[in-house]
Structures are given as structure tokens and as C-alpha cells.
Amino acid sequence: MVILLALKNNKTYLENLQLEATNSIKTISSEEDIENWRIDYIGRKGKISNFFQSFKDLKPEEKNELGSLANKLKNTLEKLYKEKQKALKDNKSNIQTEFFDFTLPGTPISTGSIHPTNQMMQEICTAFNKLGFNIFEGPEIESESYAFDKLNIPTNHPARDIWDTIYVNDVENIKSLVLRPHTSPMQIRIMENNEPPIRVVIPGKCYRYEATDNTHEWHFHQIEGLVIDKNINFLNMKATLFEFARMIFGDDTKARFRCDFFPFVEPGAEMSINFKQNEWLELMGAGMVHPKVLMNVGLDPEIYSGFAFGLGIERAAMIKYGIDNIRDFYANDYQFLKQFK
Ligand code: FA5
């Protein structure tokens, strides 16, 4: 009877121990506490070990029964311990990797930016604007008459070779339309529609049937410049263009003029800028407006004179930023373009 009672009490003790252990492990949130829990219940001197000690005087069958129950409980608690320990570890590593510092600045959102050609175009227009020039724009598809004839480049003139390039199908009886190879047709349009004094720049896109290389694209941008007034001379042109180069490329800029031929100017020149150590890059063609061109638009060359120039915008950017290859501008290479953000 005494022994039976002892057996029953021991079973109850084990049940209570299981309840207590499973409840207390739920509240544990630190590695230190789970270690204490382990020592307390399943450690070498823990409650389960003590329990084994306590029934050593019982009969063998009872010992077996209680031993097996106690072992089962020990296994259960060990499993609980391992699970909890792993959960605490995982949680800790999650917290470390997911830690978010709200005081850090946000990730910048990638936005588009103005293309380097357009940035250069705006900069050049602003410079000429400061020198007293107005800004105009004109058509990219031009008639042969404006692109060539009125600029003193008659049909069959050898000078057409470099510009007589990409023709567009005739539209509504307008014959011989061409994608303009230069912005010079706008000289004519401006002079036809405005009285001197004239001081304008005209930025825009140009197209040529061109074998591309490091300094030539088949489509590129120019800025045309035109000054018409009484008593305008070559020195005015040089002074204006030197001042422009200084404004865009800096005070130490070296610019040089050399003779060149364009049918719509007399005399004609090309202006190059010192690009790198001993290299020069041609930036523009320029010259005094040819008397025949003035007459073509009804201006008397005895009264009026003027100068004109046409500069390559990509070339200006190449000089300014030390870019070796004009094809970089239109290769859609983000690494290249993002430098101009
Ligand atoms: C002309 O186009 C003349 N209309 C310029 C001019 C205007 C002369 C007014 C006199 C008076 P040219 O073909 O040299 O000239 O081109 C002028 C500039 O445009 C060149 O100096 C260069 O900077 C740029 N350019 C010309 N062809 C290309 C090309 N294929 N790719 C990139 N830039 C070019």
C-alpha cells in the first residue's frame, strides 16, 4: 500500500514537472535563461536526475515503469530545449541581418538627366546670349534651295560633295528635300525675315552621309551664328569667337584660326581648340558672309557686312571634358552618360 502510494505520487510529480517545465520554457527569451532552464531540469544535478535518485529503493518493476516515464520526460525536455535554443539563435541572427538604422539617409532614386550634348548646347547658347545674341531654331528637313543654292552652292558645285547627302522623298510638290547637313540654311531664313542689325545663334541637329570615326558622327549637332550690321569686320568675328572660347573652355584656352573654304563666306576660316597636350580639334567653320549670299536675301553688300560660324556641339563637349570618341555620345552607355548628371 505504501509502495503503491509512492508510485502514484511519483507519477504525479513527473506530470507536474512536465507541466512546469513546458510552461516556463515558453517565457524564456534569452540564451542565458535557456541555459539555466537546462541545468534546472535536465542538467546533471537537475530535477530529472534527482528524481532518478529518489526511487532507487523501489521494487524493480516499479523502478522500470517510473524509469521509463522519467526517461520519456527527459527526452521530451531535451527536445524542447534544443528547439528553443535554435529558435533563440535564429532570432538573434535575424535581428542582426535585419537591423535597420532609421537614421541612415535613404537610397537615392535613380533619375534621368539632360544628355551631355543638350547640356553643352544650353551652355553655349547661354554664353552667346550673354554676348548679346538671340536664339532661334529651324527645320531639320530643308529644301535644296536653302541648304545649298541660296548659300552660294549651286548644283554641280564640288563643295556639295560634303553636304549633298541624305535626301527625303518629295512631299506635296516640294522637290529635293534633304535632312540638313548643317545649320547654315538658317542664315538665309533669318536674313529673309529680319532687318539688320542681326545677332543670332541657331542650335540644331544635322545629318550627313558620313563614315564615322572618333570625331565624326553621321548625325550630330551644330550651332550656327550670324551677325549682320554696318561695319562688321573680321576682327569683330575673331574677338567674339575668342571670347566665346574663353567663356566655355576657360581663361587659358588656346584657339587658332586657319584658312578654310566655304562657298557662303569670304574669307573663310576654321577655328580649332587646343584639345590635349599637342592636339588640336576643329570646333567650327567661320567667315565673313559672302556678298553673293547678302544679295540672295536682298541686302546691299556695300552697306551691310557680317560674319557667320557653325560649330559642332559634340566637338565642344569633347574638348571640354577630354572625350576621345564622339561615338560615346550615342552608344547609350549608362556608365558614360551618368558622368554628366
Ligand atoms: C559647316 O558645316 C559650315 N556650315 C560651317 C560654317 C558656318 C562655315 C558658317 C562658315 C560660316 P563643317 O562641315 O566644317 O562646316 O562643320 C562645322 C563643324 O561641325 C565642324 O567644325 C565640326 O565641329 C562639326 N562637324 C562637322 N561634321 C561633323 C561630324 N560628322 N560629326 C561631328 N561633328 C561634325
Element (H, E) at 219: strand 219-229
Find where cell 549682320 sits: 228
Pocket of ligand 1 (CB under 6 A): 182, 184, 208, 210, 216-217, 220, 222, 262, 265, 268, 282-287, 308-312, 314-315, 326
- The cell numbers describing 338, all together, are 551618368
**Structure letter (DSSP) for residue 133:** -
User: What's the average pLDDT block by block, 10 residues per block, for the chain (341 residues)?
Assistant: 61 90 91 92 91 80 86 93 89 67 85 94 98 97 93 88 78 78 97 97 95 95 98 98 97 94 97 90 97 97 98 97 95 92 85
265 is catalytic: yes
Q: Which SS3 state, helix, strand or coil, does residue 117 take? A: helix
User: What pLDDT shows up at residue 73?
Assistant: 93
**Ligand 1: which of 150, 179, 182 to mutate, most ligand atoms within 8 Å of CB?**
182
Contact 290, 263 (CB under 8 A): yes
- How far apart CA 287 and CA 310 sit, in angstroms, is 10
- The active-site residue out of 21, 227, 308, 317 is 308
CA distances from 93 to 36, 252, 290 (A): 21, 60, 81
**Helices marked H in 103-218 — which ranges?**
116-130, 144-147, 185-193
pTM greater than 0.85 = no
User: What pLDDT shows up at residue 2?
Assistant: 47
- The cell numbers describing 168, all together, are 527625303
Contact 310, 205 (CB under 8 A): no
User: What pLDDT shows up at residue 161?
Assistant: 78
User: What pLDDT shows up at residue 1?
Assistant: 44
- The active-site residue out of 70, 180, 222, 269 is 222
Residue 276, exposed/middle/buried by CB under 10 A (0-12, 13-18, 19+)? exposed
CA distances from 274 to 115, 131, 164, 233, 252 (A): 24, 23, 30, 25, 10
- The active-site residue out of 265, 289, 293, 317 is 265
